[in-house]
Structure 1
Amino acid sequence: MRNNSVKRIVFSALIAAIYAVLTNVLAPISYGPVQFRISEIMVLFAFIDPFYIVGLTLGCFMANLSSPNGILDLCVGTLATFLSVSAISFTRKYLKDKTSSLIIASLWPTIINGLMIGYMLNYIAKLPLFLTIGEVALGEFVVITLVGVPVFRLLTKKMKSTLVDRI
Protein backbone atom coordinates (compact mmCIF):
# COMPACT_ATOMS: atom_id res chain seq x y z
CA MET A 1 0.00 0.00 0.00
CA ARG A 2 2.72 2.45 0.95
CA ASN A 3 4.69 1.61 -2.20
CA ASN A 4 1.68 2.55 -4.34
CA SER A 5 1.32 5.88 -2.50
CA VAL A 6 4.98 6.69 -3.08
CA LYS A 7 4.61 5.88 -6.79
CA ARG A 8 1.60 8.18 -7.05
CA ILE A 9 3.41 11.03 -5.29
CA VAL A 10 6.47 10.58 -7.52
CA PHE A 11 4.29 10.50 -10.64
CA SER A 12 2.49 13.66 -9.49
CA ALA A 13 5.83 15.41 -8.90
CA LEU A 14 6.99 14.27 -12.33
CA ILE A 15 3.82 15.73 -13.87
CA ALA A 16 4.51 19.06 -12.11
CA ALA A 17 8.11 19.14 -13.33
CA ILE A 18 7.27 18.21 -16.92
CA TYR A 19 4.45 20.76 -17.04
CA ALA A 20 6.75 23.55 -15.80
CA VAL A 21 9.67 22.63 -18.05
CA LEU A 22 7.54 22.23 -21.19
CA THR A 23 5.82 25.56 -20.56
CA ASN A 24 9.11 27.40 -20.08
CA VAL A 25 10.99 25.70 -22.92
CA LEU A 26 8.13 26.65 -25.23
CA ALA A 27 7.66 30.09 -23.60
CA PRO A 28 7.15 32.02 -26.86
CA ILE A 29 3.93 30.06 -27.51
CA SER A 30 3.03 29.44 -23.84
CA TYR A 31 2.23 32.99 -22.77
CA GLY A 32 0.19 35.80 -24.27
CA PRO A 33 -3.25 36.20 -25.82
CA VAL A 34 -2.78 33.40 -28.32
CA GLN A 35 -1.12 30.66 -26.31
CA PHE A 36 -0.55 27.06 -27.18
CA ARG A 37 0.69 25.57 -23.92
CA ILE A 38 1.58 22.08 -25.01
CA SER A 39 1.90 21.20 -21.32
CA GLU A 40 -1.86 21.72 -20.99
CA ILE A 41 -2.42 18.32 -22.60
CA MET A 42 -1.36 16.94 -19.23
CA VAL A 43 -4.44 18.39 -17.49
CA LEU A 44 -6.24 15.32 -18.80
CA PHE A 45 -4.39 13.29 -16.14
CA ALA A 46 -7.02 14.67 -13.73
CA PHE A 47 -9.47 12.51 -15.70
CA ILE A 48 -7.58 9.42 -14.50
CA ASP A 49 -7.37 10.35 -10.83
CA PRO A 50 -8.10 13.51 -8.79
CA PHE A 51 -4.81 12.88 -6.99
CA TYR A 52 -3.01 14.48 -9.97
CA ILE A 53 -4.79 17.81 -9.44
CA VAL A 54 -2.04 18.78 -6.99
CA GLY A 55 0.80 18.00 -9.40
CA LEU A 56 -0.87 19.81 -12.28
CA THR A 57 -1.62 22.87 -10.17
CA LEU A 58 1.92 22.91 -8.78
CA GLY A 59 3.34 22.55 -12.29
CA CYS A 60 1.32 25.54 -13.46
CA PHE A 61 2.45 27.55 -10.43
CA MET A 62 6.11 26.73 -11.14
CA ALA A 63 5.69 27.58 -14.84
CA ASN A 64 4.04 30.89 -14.01
CA LEU A 65 6.92 31.91 -11.74
CA SER A 66 8.66 33.03 -14.93
CA SER A 67 5.55 34.39 -16.65
CA PRO A 68 5.97 37.74 -18.38
CA ASN A 69 2.60 38.66 -16.86
CA GLY A 70 3.98 38.69 -13.33
CA ILE A 71 2.34 37.95 -10.02
CA LEU A 72 -1.16 38.26 -11.44
CA ASP A 73 -0.53 35.34 -13.79
CA LEU A 74 1.00 33.40 -10.91
CA CYS A 75 -2.26 33.77 -8.95
CA VAL A 76 -4.94 33.86 -11.66
CA GLY A 77 -3.26 31.31 -13.94
CA THR A 78 -2.70 28.84 -11.12
CA LEU A 79 -6.28 29.27 -9.90
CA ALA A 80 -7.60 28.77 -13.45
CA THR A 81 -5.62 25.53 -13.75
CA PHE A 82 -6.83 24.31 -10.36
CA LEU A 83 -10.46 25.00 -11.30
CA SER A 84 -10.00 23.39 -14.74
CA VAL A 85 -8.44 20.17 -13.47
CA SER A 86 -10.98 19.96 -10.65
CA ALA A 87 -13.80 20.28 -13.21
CA ILE A 88 -12.14 17.62 -15.38
CA SER A 89 -12.01 15.24 -12.42
CA PHE A 90 -15.59 16.08 -11.43
CA THR A 91 -16.81 15.36 -14.97
CA ARG A 92 -15.10 11.95 -14.95
CA LYS A 93 -16.71 11.10 -11.64
CA TYR A 94 -20.27 12.11 -12.49
CA LEU A 95 -20.66 11.25 -16.18
CA LYS A 96 -20.89 7.53 -16.83
CA ASP A 97 -20.14 7.42 -20.60
CA LYS A 98 -16.33 7.62 -20.61
CA THR A 99 -16.04 8.49 -24.32
CA SER A 100 -18.25 11.57 -24.24
CA SER A 101 -17.20 12.54 -20.72
CA LEU A 102 -13.55 12.86 -21.81
CA ILE A 103 -14.53 15.26 -24.57
CA ILE A 104 -16.78 17.24 -22.22
CA ALA A 105 -14.04 17.27 -19.57
CA SER A 106 -11.53 18.58 -22.10
CA LEU A 107 -13.70 21.66 -22.64
CA TRP A 108 -13.41 22.93 -19.07
CA PRO A 109 -9.93 24.46 -19.53
CA THR A 110 -11.15 26.15 -22.72
CA ILE A 111 -14.00 27.79 -20.83
CA ILE A 112 -12.27 28.53 -17.53
CA ASN A 113 -8.90 29.68 -18.93
CA GLY A 114 -10.59 31.55 -21.75
CA LEU A 115 -12.57 33.62 -19.26
CA MET A 116 -10.01 34.00 -16.47
CA ILE A 117 -6.81 34.39 -18.48
CA GLY A 118 -8.61 36.39 -21.17
CA TYR A 119 -9.87 38.84 -18.56
CA MET A 120 -6.44 38.97 -16.89
CA LEU A 121 -4.72 39.76 -20.20
CA ASN A 122 -7.37 42.39 -20.91
CA TYR A 123 -6.59 43.97 -17.55
CA ILE A 124 -2.79 43.77 -17.86
CA ALA A 125 -2.27 44.60 -21.54
CA LYS A 126 -5.49 46.55 -22.22
CA LEU A 127 -6.34 44.16 -25.04
CA PRO A 128 -9.96 43.86 -26.27
CA LEU A 129 -11.78 41.65 -23.76
CA PHE A 130 -13.85 39.42 -26.03
CA LEU A 131 -11.03 39.02 -28.55
CA THR A 132 -8.62 38.04 -25.78
CA ILE A 133 -11.07 35.57 -24.24
CA GLY A 134 -11.57 34.03 -27.68
CA GLU A 135 -7.85 33.79 -28.41
CA VAL A 136 -7.04 32.10 -25.11
CA ALA A 137 -10.02 29.75 -25.50
CA LEU A 138 -8.96 28.87 -29.05
CA GLY A 139 -5.45 27.94 -27.89
CA GLU A 140 -6.83 25.78 -25.08
CA PHE A 141 -9.32 24.09 -27.39
CA VAL A 142 -6.70 23.25 -30.01
CA VAL A 143 -4.15 21.94 -27.51
CA ILE A 144 -6.43 20.00 -25.16
CA THR A 145 -9.47 18.93 -27.17
CA LEU A 146 -8.22 18.66 -30.74
CA VAL A 147 -4.69 17.38 -29.98
CA GLY A 148 -4.80 16.27 -26.34
CA VAL A 149 -7.85 14.02 -26.37
CA PRO A 150 -6.61 11.81 -29.27
CA VAL A 151 -3.10 11.65 -27.74
CA PHE A 152 -4.58 10.83 -24.33
CA ARG A 153 -6.75 8.08 -25.76
CA LEU A 154 -3.81 6.61 -27.67
CA LEU A 155 -1.59 6.63 -24.58
CA THR A 156 -4.24 5.12 -22.34
CA LYS A 157 -4.83 2.33 -24.83
CA LYS A 158 -1.10 1.59 -25.13
CA MET A 159 -0.22 1.81 -21.46
CA LYS A 160 -0.99 -1.18 -19.27
CA SER A 161 -0.36 0.37 -15.88
CA THR A 162 -2.79 0.29 -12.98
CA LEU A 163 -3.04 4.09 -13.08
CA VAL A 164 -4.53 4.06 -16.56
CA ASP A 165 -6.55 0.85 -16.40
CA ARG A 166 -9.19 2.63 -14.30
CA ILE A 167 -10.46 4.65 -17.27
Structure 2
Amino acid sequence: MNNKSVLFITQAAVIAAIYVVLTHIANTLGLANQAIQVRFSEALTILPYFTPAAIPGLFVGCIIANITTGCMPLDTVFGSIATLLGALGTYYIAHGLKKPTDPGFYPSNKVKTWLSPVPPILANTIIVPFVIKYVYGSEGTIPFFMLTVGIGEIISCFVLGMILLFALNKRKDAIFYGQ
Protein backbone atom coordinates (compact mmCIF):
# COMPACT_ATOMS: atom_id res chain seq x y z
CA MET A 1 0.00 0.00 0.00
CA ASN A 2 1.47 3.35 -1.01
CA ASN A 3 1.48 6.58 0.98
CA LYS A 4 -1.34 8.08 -1.10
CA SER A 5 -3.63 5.11 -0.30
CA VAL A 6 -2.80 5.32 3.40
CA LEU A 7 -3.52 9.06 3.38
CA PHE A 8 -6.84 8.51 1.57
CA ILE A 9 -7.96 5.82 4.04
CA THR A 10 -6.82 7.89 7.02
CA GLN A 11 -8.69 11.00 5.83
CA ALA A 12 -11.82 8.95 5.13
CA ALA A 13 -11.64 7.35 8.60
CA VAL A 14 -11.16 10.69 10.36
CA ILE A 15 -14.10 12.20 8.45
CA ALA A 16 -16.26 9.18 9.35
CA ALA A 17 -15.31 9.49 13.02
CA ILE A 18 -16.05 13.22 13.11
CA TYR A 19 -19.38 12.61 11.38
CA VAL A 20 -20.35 10.05 14.04
CA VAL A 21 -19.33 12.30 16.93
CA LEU A 22 -21.17 15.32 15.53
CA THR A 23 -24.29 13.23 14.91
CA HIS A 24 -24.22 12.00 18.50
CA ILE A 25 -23.91 15.56 19.76
CA ALA A 26 -26.92 16.64 17.67
CA ASN A 27 -28.80 13.52 18.79
CA THR A 28 -28.09 14.28 22.44
CA LEU A 29 -29.53 17.76 21.87
CA GLY A 30 -32.60 16.25 20.17
CA LEU A 31 -31.73 17.65 16.75
CA ALA A 32 -30.59 14.61 14.73
CA ASN A 33 -33.71 12.54 14.13
CA GLN A 34 -36.73 14.83 14.22
CA ALA A 35 -38.86 16.26 11.39
CA ILE A 36 -36.48 19.24 11.18
CA GLN A 37 -33.15 17.48 11.45
CA VAL A 38 -30.21 19.73 12.15
CA ARG A 39 -27.35 17.27 12.12
CA PHE A 40 -24.14 19.21 12.63
CA SER A 41 -22.43 16.31 10.86
CA GLU A 42 -24.20 17.18 7.61
CA ALA A 43 -22.01 20.30 7.41
CA LEU A 44 -19.23 17.84 6.58
CA THR A 45 -20.95 17.03 3.28
CA ILE A 46 -19.01 20.01 1.95
CA LEU A 47 -15.72 18.10 2.36
CA PRO A 48 -15.81 16.41 -1.09
CA TYR A 49 -15.13 19.94 -2.34
CA PHE A 50 -11.61 19.40 -0.96
CA THR A 51 -10.97 15.65 -1.06
CA PRO A 52 -12.47 12.53 -2.64
CA ALA A 53 -11.70 10.71 0.65
CA ALA A 54 -14.72 12.50 2.08
CA ILE A 55 -17.07 10.43 -0.09
CA PRO A 56 -16.49 7.05 1.61
CA GLY A 57 -15.84 8.83 4.92
CA LEU A 58 -19.25 10.49 4.92
CA PHE A 59 -21.00 7.31 3.74
CA VAL A 60 -19.43 5.08 6.39
CA GLY A 61 -19.82 7.77 9.06
CA CYS A 62 -23.52 8.08 8.27
CA ILE A 63 -24.01 4.31 8.44
CA ILE A 64 -22.25 4.10 11.82
CA ALA A 65 -24.04 7.19 13.18
CA ASN A 66 -27.45 5.88 12.13
CA ILE A 67 -26.81 2.47 13.67
CA THR A 68 -25.43 3.86 16.93
CA THR A 69 -28.22 6.42 17.35
CA GLY A 70 -30.86 3.71 17.03
CA CYS A 71 -32.24 4.41 13.56
CA MET A 72 -34.31 1.75 11.86
CA PRO A 73 -32.39 -0.44 9.36
CA LEU A 74 -34.14 1.07 6.29
CA ASP A 75 -33.34 4.55 7.61
CA THR A 76 -29.71 3.52 7.92
CA VAL A 77 -29.71 2.26 4.32
CA PHE A 78 -31.60 5.08 2.63
CA GLY A 79 -30.27 7.90 4.83
CA SER A 80 -26.72 6.76 4.11
CA ILE A 81 -27.47 6.50 0.38
CA ALA A 82 -28.76 10.09 0.49
CA THR A 83 -25.51 11.20 2.14
CA LEU A 84 -23.48 9.24 -0.44
CA LEU A 85 -25.37 10.77 -3.38
CA GLY A 86 -24.94 14.24 -1.88
CA ALA A 87 -21.20 13.69 -1.41
CA LEU A 88 -20.82 12.43 -4.98
CA GLY A 89 -22.74 15.45 -6.26
CA THR A 90 -20.59 17.87 -4.28
CA TYR A 91 -17.42 16.25 -5.59
CA TYR A 92 -18.75 16.37 -9.16
CA ILE A 93 -19.59 20.06 -8.90
CA ALA A 94 -16.17 20.89 -7.47
CA HIS A 95 -14.04 18.59 -9.65
CA GLY A 96 -16.06 16.85 -12.34
CA LEU A 97 -17.38 19.72 -14.41
CA LYS A 98 -15.06 19.91 -17.39
CA LYS A 99 -14.56 23.18 -19.17
CA PRO A 100 -16.39 23.01 -22.51
CA THR A 101 -15.18 24.64 -25.69
CA ASP A 102 -17.61 27.52 -25.06
CA PRO A 103 -16.48 29.08 -21.76
CA GLY A 104 -19.74 31.07 -21.53
CA PHE A 105 -21.50 27.98 -20.19
CA TYR A 106 -18.86 26.96 -17.68
CA PRO A 107 -19.57 27.98 -14.08
CA SER A 108 -16.90 30.02 -12.37
CA ASN A 109 -15.10 28.71 -9.31
CA LYS A 110 -17.18 31.08 -7.21
CA VAL A 111 -20.41 29.62 -8.61
CA LYS A 112 -19.12 26.06 -8.12
CA THR A 113 -18.24 26.91 -4.52
CA TRP A 114 -21.74 28.19 -3.76
CA LEU A 115 -23.38 25.24 -5.57
CA SER A 116 -21.36 22.65 -3.60
CA PRO A 117 -23.85 22.22 -0.73
CA VAL A 118 -26.83 21.81 -3.09
CA PRO A 119 -26.49 18.04 -3.84
CA PRO A 120 -26.69 16.89 -0.19
CA ILE A 121 -29.59 19.26 0.42
CA LEU A 122 -31.48 17.86 -2.58
CA ALA A 123 -30.61 14.20 -1.92
CA ASN A 124 -31.77 14.35 1.68
CA THR A 125 -34.82 16.50 0.90
CA ILE A 126 -35.97 13.96 -1.68
CA ILE A 127 -35.09 10.67 0.09
CA VAL A 128 -35.47 11.25 3.85
CA PRO A 129 -39.16 12.32 3.80
CA PHE A 130 -40.11 8.88 2.45
CA VAL A 131 -38.14 7.29 5.29
CA ILE A 132 -39.91 9.46 7.86
CA LYS A 133 -43.32 8.64 6.38
CA TYR A 134 -42.99 4.96 5.51
CA VAL A 135 -40.28 3.60 7.80
CA TYR A 136 -41.31 5.45 10.94
CA GLY A 137 -44.99 5.90 10.05
CA SER A 138 -44.95 9.56 11.04
CA GLU A 139 -48.13 11.56 10.63
CA GLY A 140 -47.84 14.10 7.84
CA THR A 141 -47.45 14.34 4.11
CA ILE A 142 -44.39 13.85 1.94
CA PRO A 143 -44.41 17.55 0.86
CA PHE A 144 -44.53 18.60 4.52
CA PHE A 145 -41.59 16.34 5.36
CA MET A 146 -39.72 17.62 2.29
CA LEU A 147 -40.18 21.14 3.64
CA THR A 148 -39.04 20.27 7.16
CA VAL A 149 -36.10 18.10 6.07
CA GLY A 150 -35.13 20.74 3.50
CA ILE A 151 -35.06 23.43 6.19
CA GLY A 152 -32.81 21.29 8.38
CA GLU A 153 -30.53 20.48 5.45
CA ILE A 154 -30.24 24.14 4.47
CA ILE A 155 -29.19 24.95 8.03
CA SER A 156 -26.77 22.01 8.21
CA CYS A 157 -25.32 21.85 4.70
CA PHE A 158 -25.62 25.38 3.43
CA VAL A 159 -25.24 27.61 6.47
CA LEU A 160 -22.90 25.47 8.59
CA GLY A 161 -21.32 23.78 5.56
CA MET A 162 -20.37 27.04 3.88
CA ILE A 163 -18.93 28.40 7.13
CA LEU A 164 -16.84 25.23 7.29
CA LEU A 165 -15.85 25.48 3.62
CA PHE A 166 -14.59 29.04 3.94
CA ALA A 167 -12.80 28.25 7.21
CA LEU A 168 -11.05 25.20 5.73
CA ASN A 169 -10.32 26.81 2.38
CA LYS A 170 -7.69 29.04 4.01
CA ARG A 171 -5.72 25.96 5.16
CA LYS A 172 -6.79 23.37 2.58
CA ASP A 173 -3.26 22.56 1.42
CA ALA A 174 -2.14 21.77 4.97
CA ILE A 175 -5.30 19.90 5.97
CA PHE A 176 -5.89 17.92 2.79
CA TYR A 177 -2.23 17.36 1.98
CA GLY A 178 -1.65 15.03 -0.94
CA GLN A 179 -4.95 15.59 -2.74
| Maintained 8 Å contact 2:48/2:91 | yes
The one-letter code of the counterpart of 1:41 is: A
- Among all aligned residue pairs of Structure 1 and Structure 2, give the percentage whose two residues are the same amino acid: 25
Say which SS state the counterpart of residue 174 (structure 2) adopts.
coil
Judge which range, 4-13 or 109-118, deviates more.
4-13
Indicate the structure with greater helix content. 1
Of 37, 40, 56 in structure 2, the residue corresponding to residue 38 of structure 1 is 40
Unaligned 5+ residue runs, structure 1? none
Please, what TM-score do these two structures have when normalized by structure 1? 0.89
Please, what TM-score do these two structures have when normalized by structure 2? 0.84
- What CA distance in whole angstroms lies between the structure 1 residues aligned with 2:176 and 2:107? 19
Measured after TM superposition, the shift of residue 164 of structure 1 is 6.5
Say which SS state the counterpart of residue 34 (structure 2) adopts.
coil
Instruction: Please show how residues 18-33 of structure 1 align to structure 2 within 5 Å.
Output: 18-27=18-27, 28-33=30-35
Indicate the structure (1 or 2) with the bigger Cα radius of gyration: 2
* 1:2 lines up with 2:2 in the alignment: yes
| Maintained 8 Å contact 1:36/1:139 | yes
Of 78, 100, 116 in structure 2, the residue corresponding to residue 76 of structure 1 is 78
**Regions of 4+ moved over 4 Å:** none
| Maintained 8 Å contact 2:45/2:161 | no
| Distance change (3 Å), C-alpha of 1:26 and 1:4 | same
The count of corresponding residues between Structure 1 and Structure 2 is 166
Unaligned 5+ residue runs, structure 2? 98-105
Say which SS state the counterpart of residue 12 (structure 1) adopts.
helix
Q: What is the root-mean-square deviation of aligned Cα atoms in Å?
A: 2.1
Query: Which residue of the partner structure matches residue 154 of structure 2?
Result: 141
Query: Which residue of the partner structure matches residue 142 of structure 2?
Result: 129
Q: Which gives a bigger RCO, structure 1 or 2 (Cα 8 Å, sep 6+)?
A: 2
Judge which range, 63-72 or 157-166, deviates more.
157-166
Measured after TM superposition, the shift of residue 9 of structure 1 is 1.2
| Maintained 8 Å contact 1:67/1:74 | no
| Distance change (3 Å), C-alpha of 1:141 and 1:159 | same
